[in-house]
Amino acid sequence: MKITRLRLHGFKSFVEATDFVIEPGLTGVVGPNGCGKSNLVEALRWAMGETSYKSLRAADMDAVIFAGSGNRPARNHAEVTMTIDNSDRTAPAAMNDSQLLEISRRIEREAGSVYRINGRDVRARDVQILFADAATGARSPALVHQGKIGEIIQAKPEQRRRVLEDAAGVAGLHARRHEAELRLQAAETNLTRVEDVIGQLAGQMEGLKKQARQAVRYREVAAKVRKAEATLFHLRWIGAHADVNESGQTHDLAVREMAERTQHQAEAARIQAIRAAEMPALRDAEARAAAGLQRLTNARELLDREEERAKERVAELERRLAQFEGDISRAQQQTMDADIALQRLDAEDAELKEEIKSRVEKRSGVDERVAEAEAVLTETEQQFTELTTALADLTAKRNQLEANVRTHRDKLARLDQEISNVAAEEQKLTEETGGFGDLDELTATVESAEQTLAASE
């Protein structure tokens, strides 16, 4: 076998695809340092199956891929292909059917290497044995690299023996013997494992025999169970057949009953038609009754609201009367002009009585709520009489109280302002409740009395 061509693509400094043709005779490569001469030898060794990246002057195996330069990007893979002339048929028997052998190795970053011989994937071991049979290889003395001569001179006897074996062409036999020893060792391991498995299976045989006996017993019991189930199903079929006959009789009875029910339904439909003819008149009566009920409900709600407003007004009057009682009590302690107050009260009393008499004649249509207001008014008149008596007593004390008149005038002015506010509020309430007839008139009379009492203070 002879190497006729070496093709490099992306391997170290050979970024582009480069073909190195080896012609018959002596082929030499000449060039300055760093031009890639040593890379050619390392490419041969790498394609022959070299596994040590240190011997290839690399930090790791991915370092054989072109790492890029200032003007060229890095590659993701590298490939070296050797073309070998096998016209003398000295290749191993498995590959000796072709005159040309193309041996390639391709590596991708972080993916490992792939070996091919004539386009067929093979193991790295196959490539190494191929070159070992040809008395060469990645670590053969035939490939002399930098420092190789010194290594041979300083080699130990075992290493020199390896050199002699490579020269004699028996290195491939050692590789094959080592592989055969590994296979024999694996076969012995498998035989030991088979013996263990046989012993384990022998232990399982008893359990399987017991399970077989149980299976036979199970089949016998299952046959009896199936027979019993068949008998049971037959009995159930007989019972179901009897049920079918009984259901047929029941069906006939149901048909006759349905005919009777149909007649009853026809009669009910006739009666329903009669009732439907009578329904419009009943619905009209119901509508009229509902309208009357709605009117009564509305009237009742209106009366309830009026009653509620009257109660609220009476309660307000009671609160105002209580307030006026307190004011009268305070007024008894204050200085006032008794003569002027008495004359004013006499005149207003006469007017109040006349107005009360005229309002009493108009109150014939007022209900029990007006009676309650009259009671309140009577109580007010009594209080007014008591106030008149108190004012008579105050007349005797007029001279003593004159010294305090100036002090209490300011208080009287504030009371007048409060009374004016109350009168305005009462006027507002009168406007809001203007539709209550005589009850509103009586309320106005009471308010007038309240204003009179306030003015007397």
> pLDDT tens digits for 28-38?
888 888 788 88
* 104, 82 Cβ separation under 8 angstroms: yes
With a CB cutoff of 8 Å and minimum separation 6, the contacts of 192 are none
Last residue of one domain, picked from the residues 138, 171, 186: 138
* % residues pLDDT > 70 (the chain): 68
**Ordered DSSP codes for 143-186:** S--TTHHHHHHT--HHHHHHHHHHHHT-HHHHHHHHHHHHHHHH
pLDDT attached to residue 314: 72
CA distance 363 to 417: 32
User: pLDDT digit string (tens) for 167-176?
Assistant: 655 555 666 6
Q: Report if residue 328 sits inside a domain.
A: yes
Burial class of residue 430, CB neighbours in 10 A (0-12, 13-18, 19+): middle
Q: What is the pLDDT of residue 245?
A: 87
Asked if pLDDT for residue 446 goes beyond 50, the answer is: no
Kindly report the backbone phi and psi dihedral angles of residue 344, in degrees, each rounded to the nearest multiple of 5, phi listed first: -65, -40
Q: Nearest to residue 98, comparing CAs of 119, 76, 81?
A: 119
- Token pair for 45: 């060794």
How many CA atoms, within 13 angstroms, populate the side-chain half-sphere of residue 429?
A: 19
253: Cβ contacts below 8 Å, ≥ 6 apart: none
The domain boundary residue, chosen from 116, 138, 160:
138
The reported pLDDT for the residue numbered 209 is 84
Q: Is 362 within a domain?
A: yes
456 or 29, greater pLDDT: 29
SS3 call for 136: coil
pLDDT of residue 429: 65
CA separation for the pair 294, 300 (Å, rounded): 10
Task: Say which amino acid occupies 14.
Answer: F
Confidence of residue 271 (pLDDT cuts 50, 70, 90): confident
**Of 102-116, 336-350, 393-407, 427-441, minimum mean pLDDT range:** 427-441
Burial of 5 (0-12, 13-18, 19+ CB in 10 A): middle
Q: Is the pLDDT of residue 376 over 60?
A: yes
Average pLDDT, the chain: 76
Q: What is the mean pLDDT of residues 159-185?
A: 68
- Flag whether 284 is in a domain: no
Among 6-15, 90-99, 215-224, 274-283, which stretch is predicted with the lowest mean pLDDT?
90-99
The answer as to whether 107 is a domain residue is yes
Q: Of the given ranges (4-8, 86-90, 104-108, 172-176), which has the lowest mean pLDDT?
A: 172-176
Averaged pLDDT, 147-162: 66
Q: Which residue in the block uniquely carries the two structure tokens 């009920």?
A: 293
Q: Which residue has the tokens 């891929």?
A: 65
Give 84's DSSP letter.
E
Average pLDDT for 442-446: 51
The number of distinct structural domains making up the chain is 2
Assigned domain for 306 exists = no
The CATH number of the domain holding residue 111 is 3.40.50.300
Q: Domain end: 138, 170, 204, which one?
A: 138
Mean local confidence (pLDDT), 344-366:
66
What range does the domain containing 430 cover? 314-456
Q: Are strands 77-85 and 18-21 parallel, antiparallel or unpaired?
A: unpaired
C-alpha to C-alpha distances, 129 to 79, 156, 236, nearest whole angstrom: 20, 24, 81
How much is the pTM?
0.38
Could you give the angle at the alpha carbon of 264 between the alpha carbons of 260 and 267, nearest 5°?
Answer: 140
The pLDDT > 90 percentage for the chain reads 3
- Encoded tokens for 449: 């009395």
Is 187 a member of any domain?
no
More confident residue, 326 or 5: 5
In a domain, residue 167? The reply is: no
Asked if residue 285 is part of any domain, the answer here is: no
